[in-house]
Structure 1
Amino acid sequence: MLKSEILNAPLLAALAKCGHTDIVVIADCGLPLPEGPLVIDLALVQGLPSLDQVLEVLARNMVIENSTLAAEAENGPVQELCLARDLDPDFISHEELKAQLPQAKVIVRTGEATPYANAILHCGVAF
């Protein structure tokens, strides 16, 4: 039996397959999702789970080198959530962020409904 706080088996399996330089995207419920990457849909209802809740768990369970947010989220609540977890984000346009989605190893869809509440997490290495 694996000891992990993450109970969602598909999410845990997907994260276990990530390596250095892979990207994991936390997506709000309105982000258009491309064909290709594995999508783990956690959305239950609008607002649940929130980006904050998912980011908190992933930040505790992944080595994250850095994060990328849409420039439209700069100086807003999404940036504050990242900064609170020592994930000083880089910024690109929302269109550029959407263009990077096909390269994601995993996209975790949340119920978040805040505009531009999407984060690209860049996997690091623990050594």
Structure 2
Amino acid sequence: MLKTGILNPALLHLLARIRHTNTLVISDRGFPFWPQIETIDLSLIDGVPTVPQVLAALRGNFVLGRAWMAQEFLANNTDATQAAFKNALAGVPLEFEPHVDFKKRVPHAIGLIRTGETVQYANMILESA
């Protein structure tokens, strides 16, 4: 029985298949369903878990090379919210791009983790180093 780290077997299975330069999406609760990629739904209630909480859990098992978020995240969220997300990605190069372009990257991901996040445009794409 697992006692520490990620306990969700579906999430562990997904992470085990990610290789160098593969991508993984962490999404908010309202992100569209993408039938062509595996989705692990961790949402419980509004705000549980959050994108930064999931990212913190992943960082022990996932080597991040870079990340992308939508430019709209910057325009729609407070400085404090932006800082919390940037802190969760500490040391990882983060690029912002229009949400339309961000969504074009999604079908190329190995998988998507849906959270209960309610922050607008909180979605991120993570590239494995």
TM-score of the pair, normalised by structure 2: 0.87
CA distance in 2, matches of 1:27, 1:66: 16
Aligned mate of 2:85, from 71, 77, 81: 81
CA distance in 1, matches of 2:93, 2:44: 29
Q: Alpha carbons of 1:90 and 1:36: their partners in 2 closer, same or farther (altered >3 Å)?
A: same
Q: Alpha carbons of 1:2 and 1:80: their partners in 2 closer, same or farther (altered >3 Å)?
A: closer
Query: Is the 2:27–2:123 Cα contact (8 Å) retained in structure 1?
Result: yes
Q: Provide the identity percentage.
A: 37
1:20-76 per-residue CA deviation (whole Å, 9 max, x = no partner) reads 111000000011121111100000111100111101111222100000010112375
CA distance in 2, matches of 1:86, 1:118: 18
Q: Alpha carbons of 1:105 and 1:79: their partners in 2 closer, same or farther (altered >3 Å)?
A: farther
Query: Is the 1:82–1:88 Cα contact (8 Å) retained in structure 2?
Result: no
Residue of structure 1 equivalent to 2:23: 23
Residue of structure 2 equivalent to 1:92: 97
- Tell me the SS of whatever aligns to 2:59: helix
Q: CA RMSD in A?
A: 1.9
Unaligned 5+ runs, structure 1: none
TM-score of the pair, normalised by structure 1: 0.88
The worse-fitting range, judged by mean Cα deviation, of 79-88 and 17-26 is 79-88
Query: Is the 2:25–2:109 Cα contact (8 Å) retained in structure 1?
Result: yes
Runs of 4+ in 1 over 4 A off after TM superposition: 1-4
CA distance in 1, matches of 2:3, 2:17: 16
Matches within 5 A, 1:1-127: 5-74=5-74, 76=77, 77-78=81-82, 80-84=84-88, 85-124=90-129
Q: Which amino acid aligns with 1:115?
A: Q
The worse-fitting range, judged by mean Cα deviation, of 73-82 and 4-13 is 73-82
Q: Alpha carbons of 1:11 and 1:70: their partners in 2 closer, same or farther (altered >3 Å)?
A: same
CA distance in 2, matches of 1:8, 1:71: 31
| Aligned-residue offset at 1:87 | 2.1
Task: Report the count of equivalent residues.
Answer: 124
